[in-house]
Amino acid sequence: MVRIDLEKCVGCGQCIPFCPDSAISLNVNGKASVDEEVCVECYACIRANICPTNAIEKHPLEWPRIIRHLFSGVVSEHKDTRVPGRGTEEMKTNDVTGRFKPGEIGFSIDVGRPGIGTKLSEVNKLTMKLAKINVEFEPMNPITLLMIDKSSGKLREDILNERVRSVVVEFKVKKEQLPHVLKVLRQLSSEVDTVFSVGCITVFEDLKEVQEVLGKFGFEPRINGKTNIGLGRPVMGG
């Protein structure tokens, strides 16, 4: 846990601009202090190495607070997935993994980004509502592994009050489910107390049709391509 040693702090305030979540401020005594509710344990203030008296200290994190660092640190590997960061490689290795096939649409919902952050209770609202329309959550995504039950999308109760920089919720659906997903995402945009961006993943042969559906629901896609140079080898059965 990030804390300020008040014996060492000289109140220079140089650490304040380095906190992306504005969790550091000067208290009434002119010393720097960390708002533990707001802090996401990203350690940006420590990596900046800006404190002239080394007053910023990193204390061991226990469960469930360690969740903050796992989703907010620069390179934090989740022990269950062995994947660093907030999600998986999504479409980038599809030539090898075959995760998204013709007729399937993938989604990556980046919650809390940019610059807002989110409580996991807000993510829980999103995952539970998506589960009601029978999306298939990505099994190797860290958020999926924190669900009590994938069929309900409900996250563990003990993590709901934790605040993180952002998380990526990943899932896929059949192409005919696309309008239902877009409708739910529109509803969620006014129900969750944070921001989120929507990534829509499809193979090339479905691109035009998917673009048309996105347009009907007021989504303006920015097309990004992943070019395969033929070095990958498909996974058996993928």
Instruction: Report the pLDDT value the prediction gives residue 18, as an integer from 0 to 100.
Output: 95
Flag whether 72 is in a domain: no
Flag whether 166 is in a domain: yes
More confident residue, 228 or 73: 73
Flag whether 103 is in a domain: yes
Flag whether 207 is in a domain: yes
| 45 and 122 share one domain | no
| 201 and 89 share one domain | yes
Give the structural domain span for 34.
Answer: 1-60
Average pLDDT value over all residues in the chain: 89
3-45: pLDDT as tens digits? 999 999 999 999 999 999 999 999 989 999 999 999 999 999 9
Is pLDDT at 185 greater than 60 in this prediction? yes
Flag whether 165 is in a domain: yes
In angstroms, the CA 111 to CA 169 distance is 8
Band of residue 97 on the pLDDT scale cut at 50, 70, 90: confident
Give exposure, 165-197, as e/b (b: 16+ Cβ within 10 Å). bbbbbbbbbeeebbeebbebbeebeeebebbbe
Please state, for a pLDDT cut of 90, what percent of the chain lies above it: 74
155-168: pLDDT as tens digits? 999 999 999 999 99
| 15 and 88 share one domain | no
Q: CB neighbours of 205 closer than 8 A, spacing ≥ 6?
A: 102
Amino acid at 21: D
Band of residue 203 on the pLDDT scale cut at 50, 70, 90: confident
Flag whether 65 is in a domain: no
Q: How many domains does the chain have?
A: 2
- Hey, what are 25's tokens? 């401020």
Is pLDDT at 137 greater than 90 in this prediction? yes
| 111 and 201 share one domain | yes
| 118 and 206 share one domain | yes
| 84 and 180 share one domain | yes
Flag whether 234 is in a domain: no
In angstroms, the CA 102 to CA 105 distance is 8
Flag whether 181 is in a domain: yes
53-65: pLDDT as tens digits? 999 999 999 999 9
| 43 and 94 share one domain | no
In angstroms, the CA 216 to CA 200 distance is 15
Q: CATH number of the domain that 56 lies in?
A: 3.30.70.20
The structure tokens 């999504």 sit at: 90
Instruction: Report the pLDDT value the prediction gives residue 238, as an integer from 0 to 100.
Output: 45
Instruction: Report the pLDDT value the prediction gives residue 164, as an integer from 0 to 100.
Output: 95
What CA–CA distances, in Å, run from 53 to 5, 8, 11, 76, 187?
A: 10, 6, 10, 27, 49
| 25 and 98 share one domain | no
Please state, for a pLDDT cut of 70, what percent of the chain lies above it: 89
